[in-house]
Every structure is written in C-alpha cells, then in structure tokens.
Amino acid sequence: MIPLPPPSVRSNFIRHIHLSGVTPFHIAQTIQSTLVSRLLEYKKETSAQQDPDLKPPAPIPTVLTFQPTPVYTTGRRELQTPLSEPLLKSLREPLIPLSTTHLLIIRKPFSSSSKKEQIADVVQTPRGGLITFHGPGQLVIYPIIDLLAFRNLGAKCYVNLLEESTIRLLHTMGLNILGRTENPGVWLNEGEKIASLGVHLRRNVSSYGVGLNMIMERGWWDRITACGLNGKKIVGIDEQLSDIETRDFANQENWRSSYKAMLENGAAVAQTWVDEFAAGLGRLDRGEKCEESKTTSEKDILSTSEETTKLGNVNGTHWTGWEDMPESVKNLIPLDIRGGNELNISTGGGYVEYRRWKGE
C-alpha cells in the first residue's frame, strides 16, 4: 500500500495509483467514482467554513492509471440518442485479438485468463465526446482533482494540461508528433490520432481523462467511427517504432524488445505522464500562462453537470455502490479509499510533489 505523505505537506502532492496488469473496467470506474464522491462530499461539508485553519485536510488529488478489459464507452452527447441495435450487436461480437494476446485478461472471479476470444462491454459515461474504445494495450488516465484547489486551473486550461502532458510524454518517448489540431485529442499528424480525451466536471471536480494507445488492437476500432471523426485514423505507439530515432542505441533489436515490454507493462509510461502532469501544475502554480486548447468546441472533450447522471452498462448489470458489491471486489480497491484490508491486486505509483517542479 502506498503510504500517505505527512498531513502538513499533503497539499503539495498528487497521488498516483497505477493498477497493474489488465483491470476490469467497472473496478476502475468504482475507484474513480469513490474518489470523486469523497471530494464532492468534502466540498459540501466545508463550504460554509470560512476559516481555513478549521477545515480538515482535503482528500488528496489522485491520478488513476490502468489498462482496462475491452469496453466501448459513450459520451454525454449520446445519452439522449442511444446506440442503434445493429451497432450494439456489432460491438458485442467476439473478437480474437492479434496484437494484445500476450496480455492476460482478468475475468470473473478476477483471476488471470489466457482465453483468446474476448467480448467488449458497452458502457455509458458522462464525459464529453462520443463513442470510443478502451482495452488492453491502452493506457487510461483518470485525474480526480478539484480544479479550484490549484492556481490558474480553469476548465479550458485543464483540458490543455491533459493534452500538454500527453504531448510531452510522447516527445520523451522519441515520437515526433504534431500534437494539437482543431479536433479533440492528441495527434501524430493531421489524419492520425494517438490519444483521445474526454472529461467530466461536477462542481469543478474532474473525472475521466485520457486514453493513450500504446499497443494497437485494430479489430476493436474498426467497428466504430471513433469520437465521430470520419476520415481519420486511430494509431498506436507500437506502430511508430520504425520512425523513432535509435542511433544512440548500439543494439537496436534489444532496444525494440525493451521498448515493447515498456508498452506492454504500461507502468513506466503512466509514471512519466503523471510527472509531466505534476510539472504542468507546478508551472501554473508559479503563474505561467496556460495556452488554451485548439479544439474548436469544448463539447468535443468536456462535459459538466451539477447532479449525478444516471448511467449504466448498456449490455448487462454492473455494481453501482458498496451495498451490492461482493467482498472479493471491495478487496481490489485501495485501503485508504474503501477502508478494510490491504489491497489484493498489485498496484504501483506513489506521490509527486508538483510545486517542486521547475518546468521548461
């Protein structure tokens, strides 16, 4: 279990929780919703308290990273227009992956499985944007923070920070990418998208975030027009290895093997993204200007609400609260989030002190 930093310095830290392996999507959703609920409850309980010295410590800002089981998620713009039955049928068709078969899929009752045939869930979410895919080989990044707890961090600036953190990460990995276009997400070039963005804000508390394609499993993506963008292509980092500069490496074959292993594991990629995110918060904290996203419309990425939106799994029952969740599932959730016994799955991460970052 990752220990908490001392209370006296917790305001300078963001926590990183990385779920190792491939995590059931609804488990990650439960962790996220619990963290969001704690922040919202804290804001409600302390809203009338004007003296900061009398306020209890706020829940620590957290970035949750993981690779999920296969799932198609819809955005808030699709809540009023359900997916058609023919599309739902096609999304539920079994698929035998070609690129991610080496990644063990966690299945009920949460044991690793090497079963080749996989079926994706279809889940409604309140984030901005339209339908997209998440699954093994993709790093999903969910910052759960109160934007008002950070200096100079408005909604548009927050979207910019998600983009900038992803762009800087990809640059450190040797990719020469375009970055931003008028369309949402992070782009390799004008026609190829390498990371998707979709955010929800409730009372300035963030949820959802970034989906970064590390290892591309094209069969899942071929079923949808990702994020509603016709004529555009979704790509992965693994497909760009031949274009990454390797002249500084004596043994290119060993380098490629190590690089692919890093993508399969995802932990180092996740930690670097969190470091870049913390560095960005540090720059804002020092008063540096936030450049707004080039995306033509906020609704393509961002959605906001004051009340909880009723959502669900489009093709089955899922757990929505502690009362109907089995103990075996509760045991997957970090101790300081749920209470109880120690975590039963492997996690990584730690804490990053964002105010120490000097930036570029």
> pLDDT (tens digit, 9 = 90+) per residue, 267-311?
999 999 999 999 999 999 888 888 766 664 556 677 777 654 444
The Cβ of residue 208 has, within 10 Å, a number of other Cβ atoms equal to 29
User: Which residue would you say has higher pLDDT here, 209 or 320?
Assistant: 209
> Whole-prediction pTM value?
0.85
Give, in order, the Cα–Cα distances in Å from 49 to each of 55, 117, 152, 248: 7, 54, 23, 57
Domain map (residue ranges) of the chain = 11-356
320-347 mean pLDDT: 51
Distance of CA 301 to the CA centre of its chain: 13
- pLDDT bracket for residue 260 (50, 70, 90): confident
Read off the pLDDT of residues 232-254 as tens digits, 9 standing for 90 and up. 899 999 999 877 755 555 566 77
Q: Is the pLDDT of residue 55 over 70?
A: yes
Q: What is the pLDDT of residue 209?
A: 97
Whether the upstream peptide bond of residue 109 has omega within 30° of 0, thus cis, is yes
The Cβ of residue 72 has, within 10 Å, a number of other Cβ atoms equal to 24
The maximal CA–CA distance of the chain, rounded, in angstroms, is 62
Q: Is the pLDDT of residue 313 over 80?
A: no
Distance of CA 278 to the CA centre of its chain: 15
Residues in CB range of 109: below 8 A, 6 or more apart: 328
335-355 mean pLDDT: 57
Q: Would residue 157 show up in a list of annotated catalytic residues for this protein?
A: no
Q: What is the pLDDT of residue 226?
A: 75
Mean residue pLDDT of the chain comes to 80
By C-alpha distance, which of 34, 110, 16, 59 is closest to 347?
Answer: 16
| % of the chain residues with pLDDT over 70 | 73
Q: Is the pLDDT of residue 336 over 60?
A: no
- From the candidates 103, 227, 263, 332, give the one annotated as an active-site residue: 227
Q: Which fold has domain 11-356?
A: BirA Bifunctional Protein; domain 2 (3.30.930)
The answer to which of 44-58, 71-85, 249-263, 297-311 has the lowest mean pLDDT is 297-311
